[in-house]
Amino acid sequence: MLSYTYVTDIVRHADELEILRNALDNISDGVLLLDADLNAQYMNQKVRDYWGLSEAQVAAHPSYAEIIAGAPHANARGIPPEQLDAFFAARVELARTPGARDTLTPDGRHIRVHCAVTPNGGRMLTYCDISDLVRSAEQLEKLATIDSMTGLFNRRHFLALAAAEWSRFLRYQRPLSMLAIDVDHFKSVNDRYGHAVGDEAIASVAATCQQCKRASDIVGRIGGEEFAVLLPETDPEQAAIVAERIREKVAGQVLFAHKVRFGMTISIGIASATAGMSGIEALLRPADQALYQAKAEGRNRAVQWTPPLVPKFAAE
């Protein structure tokens, strides 16, 4: 007995499914489909590569817990063995939680994982490599905060960081000092050797400020050849020591331009915060005043700003 059944629709659907599988295997994102028990129903090539799964493992429809625990990089983060079970359990729980999260892989890639609930109660996880996006964001942030010539904070970001320190000064009444630094006779360097050499001179002073600063200090380029150093937890006497260290190191350096050796000096103004000041700009102003005084007194020196005396009125 012969029987004939139309399988045209079955063949067509199989062909369409194969086309869909091939398409998913060639997209840049990873796709992982889990059933309601978090067992793998489908994973494209990106996911198979990411988790290091063989064809036999894929065919066995492993659970999500088995996938993450058996991955070659499962413990590349250096988690102690006794904490691994808890770590994997937390990862599985995340797979049940709809939404997006970002993770950093052991090889330094930034992956955005998005979890969506499927009609059968399962989950669809998509993995998108956003490393280029993160790097671009970091580069934009760097361009917005860093002076490209010196690598120091630019004026805007320096003042923003300094404002945060000012808030701590007001809250805890701990000492806070500021150095205003300017390169002596900088115009003559530009005129004699050219702007390229002038740029090298600025970069040299910036490097010295970085080398002499402490971990908590903040250094910024706030003008052409002008720098500022904020010194948290630093009283006037300590600030003078830091200023002198920077001044001496700059004065002891020798630069070369057009086969000519030349040196530089800097002038430094020092000011320390007082309770009556209105903000970080009010601390920078007296540091600038002391800097102008250092210039007037012959340059290559550090001058301490002295708060004006408060007049005493006789009691009536």
For 27, residues 6+ apart whose C-beta sits below 8 A from its C-beta are: 44, 46
User: Is 66 one of the catalytic residues?
Assistant: no
Helices within the chain (DSSP H only): 8-25, 45-51, 55-59, 64-69, 81-95, 131-145, 155-172, 186-193, 195-212, 236-251, 280-296
The confidence band for 314, taking pLDDT boundaries of 50, 70 and 90, is very low
Mean pLDDT of 248-271: 90
Q: Which structure tokens are listed for 62?
A: 């492993």
Ranking 3-17, 61-75, 136-150, 292-306 by mean pLDDT, the lowest is 3-17
Is the pLDDT reported for residue 7 higher than 60? no
- Could you tell me the pTM of the whole model? 0.63
Q: What is the pLDDT of residues 102-147, one digit of tens each?
A: 888 777 888 888 999 988 899 988 988 888 888 887 777 777 899 9
Q: Are 118 and 106 in contact (CB under 8 A)?
A: no
Mean pLDDT of 43-71: 85
Q: Are 275 and 212 in contact (CB under 8 A)?
A: no
Is the pLDDT reported for residue 178 higher than 70? yes
Q: Which structure tokens are listed for 293?
A: 């005084």
pLDDT of residue 54: 85
- What single DSSP character describes residue 194? -
pLDDT of residue 313: 52
Mean pLDDT of 141-156: 88
User: In this predicted model, which residue has the larger pLDDT, 258 or 223?
Assistant: 223
**Which percentage of the chain shows pLDDT scores above 70?**
87
**Regarding the domain delimited by 146-304, which CATH topology (the fold level of the hierarchy) does it fall under?**
Alpha-Beta Plaits (3.30.70)
CATH of segment(s) 8-134: 3.30.450.20
Is the pLDDT reported for residue 295 higher than 60? yes
Q: What is the pLDDT of residues 207-245, one digit of tens each?
A: 999 999 989 999 999 999 999 999 999 999 999 999 999
Active-site position among 141, 165, 225, 316:
225
Residue 186 and residue 38: Cα distance in Å, rounded?
A: 68
Mean pLDDT of 239-258: 92
For 272, residues 6+ apart whose C-beta sits below 8 A from its C-beta are: 175, 176, 177, 178, 234, 235, 236, 239, 283, 305
Residue 66 and residue 75: Cα distance in Å, rounded?
A: 14
Q: What is the CA radius of gyration of the chain?
A: 32
Is the pLDDT reported for residue 60 higher than 50? yes
Query: What ranges do the domains of the chain cover?
Result: 8-134, 146-304
Quick one: which of 43, 30, 36 has its CA closest to 103?
30
User: In this predicted model, which residue has the larger pLDDT, 77 or 137?
Assistant: 137
Q: 201-204 contacts: CB < 8 A, separation 24 or more?
A: 201/225, 201/255, 201/264, 202/149, 202/150, 203/149, 203/150, 204/250, 204/253, 204/255, 204/264
